[in-house]
Structure 1
């Protein structure tokens, strides 16, 4: 049976007449009569009794009607959900970043976004070790915030902002007397990073690896507060964005030093699938990112 058959059974059962059903189904009475015979022929039984010019469901007809109502209601709910999704009024936005920490921009962003799209849920994914570009292409997430741009096909890169990262050292460290540090300065240092692989860390990808420099030791610490305390204690140096460390500079126990004469700069992008039919809320979320982050990023590598 087809969907049109189920709709016919439901409408005839309600109106008890092909004549009345034809107006709701926008078909002629002869067309409906032909469809009904077709269904009864497929099932090998009558679905309606003809009683006093009315069509009354047989037991077999009641069984078909029960299934028809369930299936058609489910289809109607699905159609409504899809229409809301396409129009951008409801749905789920799955978001990831290249890092674990610093989601402090999210509450204000969500507050503004929810005023515009109250029926859109936001899910946050924290697994930054995975390739978020692959996750976008596979449909596992809808949007990611990254500071790399590999120009992969079928991915749209929406530039958000640029930032610069600095070497974070304790006050009195020899580097504080330098206008900037170079790759060779890291050779005898314990370097604290946020996450592996090293190729994803700006200090390594832009400075150390091209110069063939290996630090004395590399330590992975994923909590910003812990990184700050280790640096204060002289246990190592870190490279992070200026904006993220500013709250920790107030006690004058930390200092920032530029890395290389030209500095380490990153361009942050929001990435999505290149899809002209993407829901409106996804497009608007990118605009909310631009407005709410305001030059801030969400990682300290």
Structure 2
């Protein structure tokens, strides 16, 4: 019998292109992921992908199961959201602020993804030049703040989202050009 975990594992394998990354995505060890895939292959009596190819090359059987996953898993997620909404457990409001205006480039697609998965949660992003978000976070008026300028505040934990490298672009003849220094 094919299980949802099998379909989720195959999607992770397709999206990441490697067993190591797929295992991390579905929160398994690489060994456990390999055993799960071998178990599924024995259940369907067919290999699902060609071993030792990078990126992963799926067989016809693997592609068929991926098509099934693409069809079924979004419906399962939708049903889970509907059931959570009916139970009254998936609603609320996320209060957040962002101090890094250049971050809006990646933030808005992330917010869209969040809204697709949790449509009952309202996202509130206050703005204004006189708003100081970190003290508001400390006062629990906000749930999270995205900032490039951490300040030592009691009860506030900072978690890096990614590493950022600032670059300077100058004309070839400019005194700050790398070769000119």
TM-score (norm 2): 0.46
The structure having more radius of gyration, on CA atoms, is 1
Relative to its length, the structure with more helix (as a share) is 2
